[in-house]
Amino acid sequence: MTSAAKPSQKDASNKTWVRSLIAIGAAVVLIIAGVVYYGTTVLPAQNAAKDVAGCKTFVIGFHKAQKAFLAEVTAHDHKPTAKTAVSNYVGALLPAIAQARSQSATDGALAKGYVQVASDIQSLDVSNATALRNGFSAIDGVSTRLETMCNTAFDNAGIKSPVKTATPSPTATM
């Protein structure tokens, strides 16, 4: 009887190992499926929501910057200057960019665009009219592309832009 009991204990031991391996394999598959689901569904949705929040801030600030620029260009109480117009534009845009950057997905295209605009602002040369015009053109060009990207993000999220798109964009031609 002892010889018959030994094979059955060995069979039971083997079945236990097989069941353990199956349970571990199933757990690994579930973990992988969870990571894939998070990476393909949850994280992109979170990043899109962050980008929309940043876009709301940026678009409002961008339009304030455009209004500040145009207010200087069309001023009747003093002689408008391009340097002051660009300064007003940058003064309204820079805080919006900083806040939008902090609200957006960290490594997203919009965040990189905000960093690019901030970099362009920091390197703005106001020493002569040509440099001012070229620097402003670069800043406004990237900002306009960011506004287009934000409008796409708004469309994808199914929400309206918080502001109407201003056309045409301001230009420093004084």
Whole-prediction pTM: 0.76
Q: What does the domain layout of the chain look like in residue ranges?
A: 8-157
The Cα–Cα gap between 11 and 159 comes to 63
> What is the tens place of the pLDDT at every residue in 44-68?
888 889 999 999 999 999 999 999 9
Q: Identity (one letter) of the amino acid at 149?
A: M
The CA-based dihedral angle spanning residues 68, 69, 73, 75, taken in that order and rounded to the nearest 10 degrees:
10
Look at residues 133, 131, 167 and name the one whose alpha carbon lies nearest to residue 148.
Answer: 167
The Cα–Cα gap between 139 and 162 comes to 21
Which parts of the chain register pLDDT below 50? 1, 4, 174
Question: Do residues 172 and 136 touch, judged by C-beta distance below 8 A?
Answer: yes
Residue 172 is predicted with a pLDDT of: 54
Question: Do residues 134 and 148 touch, judged by C-beta distance below 8 A?
Answer: no
Residue 13 is predicted with a pLDDT of: 78
Look at residues 136, 88, 143, 91 and name the one whose alpha carbon lies nearest to residue 113.
Answer: 143
Count of helix runs (H) and strand runs (E) in the chain? 5, 0
Question: Do residues 110 and 150 touch, judged by C-beta distance below 8 A?
Answer: yes
